[in-house]
Structure 1
């Protein structure tokens, strides 16, 4: 999509969002083992919190480099050709899976394998670092205030008001300073208490 009169190309918000979410998806998905043909033994996430290669130090031979999970299932029993002895202990979890059907993707951070927004958000917060503190403010819902007031108080207590600081943290705006006080960061506390416009 071009910008009027300049001929410059600008990325769409959807494309930027996909780019930002790539690391979250990579960390969030894992393989579900069936026949094992599609899964690299060392470089795909299929057994735990990441690829097995991250747990093994030292070089791999060319033969080991190209192993798939299916290569370890032999008629003599599961994983008899395993190049490292202790890997058989790690791989026992998939030995019980019948070798039928095609391997498939699943969401690693839920018991059912289904994607959840909450778990994806938690992963994204860890990737970005400095997760925002969350207060336990369930008392807000027990007040005699109007629902909209309760909702506003709850957002404020969770630091989820659409302040420039939060929008900057989510890469929506480029700066986090207050539009009325340029030398101050526009946080929830600043809007409600410290800003000159709030006094």
Structure 2
């Protein structure tokens, strides 16, 4: 019975995270069409997510299988992720956006799967390895500074672990991407400043 319940939790999380992983489509979209079209698509999808959320809350149209308990009562993860992807795309250059989406969708997704299994103690290291490995792979098509990407991955993992600051709950679907993009960008700025000053 215990094993069946654990298997059911993992299956549910795999289903939820397979939707999460679809966000990686952002990367070929940005690489192919650039910032303005990507931003238009992201803002449109976020607006659609907000409408879907209003419909979901009024008519209970989404299956509970796709939502955690706190999401059923509040905002669903896809809304937070859409908002964070919109903010990141508006503010940061392409490389920082790519890092943010990889850490926020793939990394956080892998961490979620590990947390729903008996390997939950390894969720942070799994998130770090999955994120950085994928970014390493992406260096063939995006000009990423790997050391900065690694720092951003670590920052994203730390952001994923922070659930509350004072009285305020922090949704990792919102925080991880923004923290990763900001860390990558500041790291790049620091390295260029250091290079120019020497």
When normalised by structure 1's length, the TM-score is 0.24
> Bigger radius of gyration, 1 or 2?
1
| More helix as a share of residues | 2
